[in-house]
Amino acid sequence: MKNEKISIDYQSFNSFEELLSTDRMLVEKALEATKNAYAPYSEFYVGAALQLKNGEIILGSNQENEAYPSGLCAERVALFYAGSEYPQEEVTALAVIAKSDKTPLLEAVTPCGACRQVMHQTQLRQKKPFKIILAHENGSGFIFGSADALLPLSFQFNK
């Protein structure tokens, strides 16, 4: 047996000024999307904005439900909408940002495991990775070049 190591490449930023204008616009759209979050239970408002190759921008926000597992995260709302409305269109980037009334967020929100798996599947489906921008309202955040960076050893039936 031998020890192995997985490393992840990503970029960090401290100000939205550091972002490409297209990425910054996507973060602003994601922030706008937080306004449509339905989160009466967690009071944690997440917005996602994804860019399609055809120029369309799809927004998503978390939608909670009294029966907890019936709700859905912002990222999956946006990705599933894109998949059902534009099944042939490539996702080129996804921005995520969150606001919370209850607990101040210290840094950019990071997607849950289920959303990471769906991001991975989107890449498999389109046979191309997409950029993921995780942002905080204070202007800081992280950029990942691929969903696989966020989910090493992701579930895949046929490796």
119 binds Zn ion (CB under 5 A): no
Q: Least distance to Zn ion from the beta carbon of 15, Å?
A: 26
* Two structure tokens written together for 96: 């995520």
- Out of 15, 22, 35, 112, the only residue in the binding site for Zn ion (CB under 5 A) is 112
Contact residues for 3 (Cβ-Cβ < 8 A; gap 6+): none
Task: Give 24 or 76: the residue with its C-beta nearer to Zn ion.
Answer: 76
In the residue annotation, 32 being an active-site residue is answered as no
Strand 44-52 to strand 91-100: parallel, antiparallel, or no bridges (unpaired)? antiparallel
x-marked contacts with Zn ion along 54-73 as a string, rule CB under 5 A: -------------------x
Helix, coil or strand: residue 124: helix
User: What is the gyration radius of the CA atoms in the chain, in angstroms?
Assistant: 15
Other CB atoms within 10 Å distance of the CB of residue 4: 5
If binding means CB under 5 A, how many residues of this protein chain bind Zn ion? Answer: 3
Task: Give 26 or 77: the residue with its C-beta nearer to Zn ion.
Answer: 77
The residues annotated with a catalytic role in the active site are 75
